[in-house]
Chain A
């Protein structure tokens, strides 16, 4: 069974940093492109970032470019999102999702709250 489990969310002050993780199981993680998507409270879905299986191609949404960094460790079956210079508008549930390129599996999400 494919599973994606996010962790690392929490309350952080504006300007602070957090590192999210997504633990993958039930499939050959090292062969899939992965994504991060977020959803602000009561709002729609916003794609954030994309990383290919070997990490040779990475893309970001303009809203997070220069502040967020996606990475992966195929040996650990894990995807990461390093978030720096956090703002109130980054408050959201953060999901990892597998690409086929459509997003066929999603994690349950981890909540990030940016507030003083």
Chain B
């Protein structure tokens, strides 16, 4: 089991550019979560999916953020346009029908 796979590991982009973060959950897990971690706010839940359907996106900061899950093995988090305050580590996590949340290694985003 390769675990939750996120790409890229690091992303540096200029303000105003579009950024796409990718996540492959553990096979068979039917929940997928996107979290953001910053020194100011700690770990925050942005959005989560159940069986590829977005259930709760109340944590998404604003319309510049969007997330999709076109199939059970892939999800994206997109920021357009990016701003310096979006700089953070973004984690994807997946969960089976029980409660076993597994996190990926994260994507460190720097917007300059």
Do A and B associate with each other? Answer: no
**A residues bordering B, Cβ < 8 Å?**
none
**B residues bordering A, Cβ < 8 Å?**
none
